[in-house]
Amino acid sequence: MKNVVALVATAVLAAQSASAHYIFQSLSKGTAKGTAYEYVRRNTNYNSPVTDLSSNDLRCNVGGATGGNTSTLDINAGDPFTFTLDTAVYHQGPISLYMSKAPGAAVDYDGSGDWFKINDWAPNFSGGQASWTMKDTYSYTIPKCVPSGEYLLRIQSLAIHNPGGVPQFYVGCGQIKVSGGDSASPKPTAKIPGAFKATDPGYTANIYNNFHSYIVPGPDVFAC
């Protein structure tokens, strides 16, 4: 009987653990919730995180090295877009947006080129303690000054909810074709993997002990 109880408890914990994870499934223009995996590359690890800082899976998740049957979203520079998850972000940590220009078609691009960051949702400390932006949709705009062309648009949730454990990356890549852009050369840029290090203060932060400031890992945010 004890064995049965233990097995049931293990199953419940496993289910709770799985339900605590999430995946960025859709990308759309404006603030609408899009169709799952229409413009976002389909991952093959369900909603599990990536934890290896040296893995190419940090770019677009497991199974996301190429576009497969993923369509490419036409969008103008300066236009808003929205990423939607299967369930709201559950773990504390920053949310970041990156772009990388494809040398040709976004569907064929593996993300091995340069990435630049266009936004961070960092913690807000104005209430005396950290407040994180934990939602099921994240909206922002394509920078007006980026060159026209096809890009990978990457969203990342870095979960740092388990001090002493390994931080978790939940990532998804949308494919976009930007029109009406300008001639900026976005900087700073970084390679992924390589943009995040185990020694980064934002990677090793303990959010439960004397937590009054935070630096989001990765390059600084590019702005026109």
pLDDT exceeds 90 at position 183: yes
pLDDT tens sequence across 130-166? 999 999 999 999 999 999 999 999 999 999 999 989 9
pLDDT tens sequence across 35-56? 999 999 999 999 999 999 999 9
Mode of pairing for the β-strands spanning 137-141 and 73-76: unpaired
CA distance 179 to 149: 7
Alpha-carbon torsion 105, 111, 116, 118, what sign? Answer: positive
Banded model confidence at residue 65, pLDDT cuts 50, 70, 90 = very high
> Which residues in the chain belong to E strands, given as ranges?
24-29, 73-76, 80-85, 95-101, 116-121, 137-141, 149-159, 168-179
pLDDT value at position 20? 60
**CB neighbours of residue 211 within 10 Å:** 15
Run of H or E including 68: none
Q: For the sheet containing 168-179, what is the strand order? A: 73-76, 168-179, 149-159, 95-101, 116-121
Return the percentage of the chain with pLDDT > 70, whole number.
91
Identify the bridge partners of residue 6 per DSSP, sorted by sequence position.
Answer: none
Average pLDDT over residues 56-81: 97
Mode of pairing for the β-strands spanning 95-101 and 137-141: unpaired
pLDDT exceeds 70 at position 5: no
CA distance 215 to 60: 23
Average pLDDT over residues 21-30: 96
Average pLDDT over residues 189-205: 97
Q: Which CATH number fits domain 23-204: 1.20.1630.10, 2.70.50.70, 2.40.50.100, 3.30.750.24?
A: 2.70.50.70
Q: How many residues does the chain have?
A: 224
